[in-house]
Amino acid sequence: MKSTHWTDKTLAEVKADIVVRIGLRHPFLGVDPAIVHEVVERLTSLERDLWAEEWSRVAERFRLQGCGLRFFGAGRSIMGFSQNGCGKL
């Protein structure tokens, strides 16, 4: 299935390109290959909203991990409010 949205490649071709880039090219330098594979496996079309949703799931997971570190770590801000979008701690 080809998309006219942003590429002439098929979904399978785009997924293969991503996998090849892991650890070698931007934006996949220094990333955990398992996370990239996890997202790539969930992509079922070339629709932009789906891609944004799937990559945002990963971003949210890391944001929540950061909130947990902030809560349990020494970096709490004045009056218990975070400065990184975590809300009241």
The ranges assigned to domains in the chain are 11-80
**What whole-number percentage of the chain has pLDDT above 70?**
72
Report phi then psi at 32, rounded to 5. Answer: -75, 115
pTM: 0.69
Cα angle 9, 33, 11; round to 5: 15
Q: How far apart are CA 21 and CA 56, in angstroms?
A: 20
pLDDT band at 15 (very low <50, low <70, confident <90, very high): very high
Q: What is the pLDDT of residues 25-58, one digit of tens each?
A: 888 888 899 999 999 999 999 999 999 999 999 9
Q: How far apart are CA 66 and CA 74, in angstroms?
A: 12
